[in-house]
Amino acid sequence: MLKKKESIFLLFLLCFAPEFWVSTRANTHNSTIDFRPFQGWRPTPESIKSFTCPPYNSMNPIYAHEFARTHPENFIHVIRPDINLSPESELYTSTAASKGKTYLEALIKAGMVQQEAQPAYYLYCQEKDGKKMYGIIGELALQNYRDGLIKPHEKIISAKKRAVTMFTKIQQAQIDPIVLTYKNDPIIDTIIEVIAAHEPAQQIVTEDGVAHQMWVINDHTIIAQLAHSFASLPTLYVADGHHRSASAKQLFKKEPHNPFYHHILAALFSDTSIAIFAYNRLLKSLSGISTYAFLNVVKRSFRVKRVDRATQAEPKQVHELGMLLDGTWYSLHLQEKFIATRQNNPVESLDISILDELLLRPFFKVRRLVIDQDIEFIGGLKNTQELEHECRQGGWQIAFALYPISSQQLMNVVDAGQLMPAKATWFEPKIRPGLVIRCAG
């Protein structure tokens, strides 16, 4: 955030000298970023505390079922409708999607969710461990992808993209915003600072101690200022939601006459308001191969050290991994000869690429693995002790803990026009599901 004098000066320029910003901030593309307000659906002040739920990919099945059982009128029944079906039911099925749609319609009918009277942006703030992270929620035009204004950084899993597409078509709702980031902009910072000085429309502290606040931005002048500021940005980078983005692009292409598919629910955060964590891996089994044989395979590429405790296996630098194998932790250090052959390629030099190439693809045939059955991706907020707990609870035989990818590594990949492997990064903040929804019609 800016100092008070700087804020006043920037607001003066923004309001009374817009030609200054047009001349100094215009992007180099023929087209501009289209990020606009919309009439969102939000929980009422009376229902918000019991309505929102943790992000679906932060809950293991046991926790999700328990949370749903103790929260019968909660948004979890929309984003995880499979928990209300038979135990063996999967999330991305047409039956589950239809069940979620029924729950959403019931919540609206019960008056727990209401639509905004007029189009608005939403300022979202998450406070965690004393740090506040601000972002603006609106609807982002899918045309921006075609115009090259939005850059992804990860590959996607085709089966998951198809599943998300099916889910969206049935539910006719976008229930979780994708997250994009942009290079820090002083004008947007100033607008956020001015808005955040007022009382929020919604605020809750959730079961994990994280504070969530949201302001409704429906003032026409401020809306115009924000729309102009975002239009002047040169590029948006996809942080979280590559599969939802790919699904939305597919629907936009296949059904161009459906206005609902022209935009996607999105939250835009400055690069100073996000943090990147690793995306760790759990694997169900060694497919009948012995632990001894697998360790010998690992030693071909890594220096392997057995450690006594999970905390000792926590990666502390690039090219260092932690591995839990049959209940025993190992610290892995990539051999120098493998570092040298990859250092000039921004993707091949990433630890997640090295893990994929040297172990997962040749040894586990990872492309054939079924998510949730053979392999699981665990957000890097969970340390090695928590990974060990996940393995014991879920019956996983092996876990890999990675060192987080840096923002510079990410930018190097994007600027080179390349893509990381799927599920390479875990971004924070994760917006609390249910705070704002975009529905068709």
CATH of the domain at 296: 3.30.1760
Task: Give the predicted TM-score (pTM) of the model.
Answer: 0.84
**In this structure, are 315 and 251 located in the same domain?**
no
Upstream peptide bond of 429 is cis (omega within 30 degrees of 0):
yes
**What mean pLDDT comes out for the span 347-354?**
94
**In this structure, are 123 and 240 located in the same domain?**
yes
**In this structure, are 268 and 283 located in the same domain?**
no
Which string of DSSP letters, residue by residue, matches 238-251?
EEE-HHHHHHHHHH
> Is residue 89 assigned to a domain?
no
Which of 214, 149, 218, 211 shows the shortest CA–CA distance to 180? 149
**In this structure, are 191 and 117 located in the same domain?**
yes
**What mean pLDDT comes out for the span 337-365?**
88
Q: What is the DSSP letter of 212?
A: E
> Is residue 226 assigned to a domain?
yes
**In this structure, are 124 and 190 located in the same domain?**
yes
Digit-coded pLDDT (tens) for 78-112: 998 888 887 666 777 899 899 999 999 999 999 99
**In this structure, are 21 and 150 located in the same domain?**
yes
Q: What is the mean pLDDT of the chain?
A: 88
> Is residue 15 assigned to a domain?
yes
Q: Which pLDDT does position 219 carry in this prediction?
A: 95
284 pLDDT above the threshold of 60? yes
Q: Which pLDDT does position 24 carry in this prediction?
A: 41
Handedness of CA 101, 105, 106, 110 (dihedral sign): positive
Q: Which pLDDT does position 14 carry in this prediction?
A: 54
> Is residue 59 assigned to a domain?
no
**What mean pLDDT comes out for the span 344-356?**
93
Structural domains of the chain, count? 2
21 pLDDT above the threshold of 50? no
Helices marked H in 124-241: 143-146, 158-171, 186-196, 220-231
> Is residue 51 assigned to a domain?
no
Q: Which residue range(s) make up the domain with 310?
A: 277-404
**In this structure, are 204 and 255 located in the same domain?**
yes
**In this structure, are 218 and 332 located in the same domain?**
no
Least confident range from 9-18, 222-231, 295-304, 307-316: namely: 9-18
**In this structure, are 234 and 313 located in the same domain?**
no
**In this structure, are 260 and 246 located in the same domain?**
yes
Q: Which pLDDT does position 60 carry in this prediction?
A: 75
> Is residue 80 assigned to a domain?
no
Q: Which pLDDT does position 362 carry in this prediction?
A: 78
**In this structure, are 400 and 305 located in the same domain?**
yes
The most confident of 9-23, 270-284, 321-335, 350-364, by mean pLDDT: 321-335
Indicate the pairing of strand 275-283 with strand 398-401. Answer: antiparallel
**What mean pLDDT comes out for the span 111-129?**
95
Digit-coded pLDDT (tens) for 52-70: 998 877 777 788 888 888 9
> Is residue 292 assigned to a domain?
yes
395 pLDDT above the threshold of 70? yes
**In this structure, are 332 and 387 located in the same domain?**
yes
120 pLDDT above the threshold of 60? yes
